Every structure is written in C-alpha cells, then in structure tokens.
Amino acid sequence: RTSLDELRPAIAQAMQALGILGAPSGTWWTSVTAWAAPAIASGATLDDVRDAIRYGAVKAAHDRPRRPWPYAMTIASEEIGQIARRNQMRRDWEANGRRGPEPLPYVWTPEDDTCSR
C-alpha cells in the first residue's frame, strides 16, 4: 500500500497541470491530505486521487465566479469515494476480460449540473 506522502509529487504535478495550483506550498498539501489520506487508506489509488482533483477542477471552473479554485478541493473530497468505486469497477472489468457492460468513467459535465441553473 502506498502512503500519501509518496504520492505528493505526482499529486502536485496533477494539480499544476490542471492550473489549480501555482507553486506548491504547505497550504495546498494540508487541503489535499484532509480528504485524500482517508481515501488512500481505504484503497483509493493515485489515479483515483487525480480523477477526483480533475473532477473538482472542471466543476469549479464552470462556476468560477461563485466557486474559486479551493472549492475544487471540496468537490474532490465529496466525490473521491464515488470515483474510487467507479475506477475499481473498471479495473475489475478489465481484469475479468471485459465481459459484461463497460463501467463508464465518473466525470462531470455542465449538463449534469442541476444545482447552479
């Protein structure tokens, strides 16, 4: 099992690539640790954490005037469990020869947003 500290450089790189983190500082890591550490302890992977950050960034960017980038972390923390479950379903599906219906990725699109209309 991988610790969150081992994933820190990759998580920072993912956040910088998404444009939601400038230069890494202690503040962003405290924010990520609050929600990602329990998820990693429960079996989430680096890909799950990256997907949660991406999901949060996309949703937060859609509502940027009302939801600044730190809100991306709030969204990621709320969605990491669902994302990790969906990704595990996909890994299991691929490991079992891709039999049955393909589990779709857990992604956010503006069409799904019923709260900000």
Q: What is the pLDDT of residues 75-91, one digit of tens each?
A: 888 999 999 999 999 99
Q: What's the average model confidence in pLDDT over 6-27?
A: 75
Q: What value does the mean pLDDT of the chain take?
A: 81
pTM equals 0.75
pLDDT of residue 94 exceeding 80 = yes
Q: What's the average model confidence in pLDDT over 43-55?
A: 89
Which residue, 24, 2, 3, is CA-closest to 13? 24
| Identity of the amino acid at 90 | R
pLDDT of residue 102 exceeding 80 = yes
Distance CA 39, CA 117 (A): 31
Residues 6+ apart with CB under 8 A from 51: 83, 87, 105, 106
What's the confidence (pLDDT) of residue 30?
75
Distance CA 22, CA 1 (A): 29
Q: How confident is the model at residue 20 (pLDDT cuts 50, 70, 90)?
A: confident
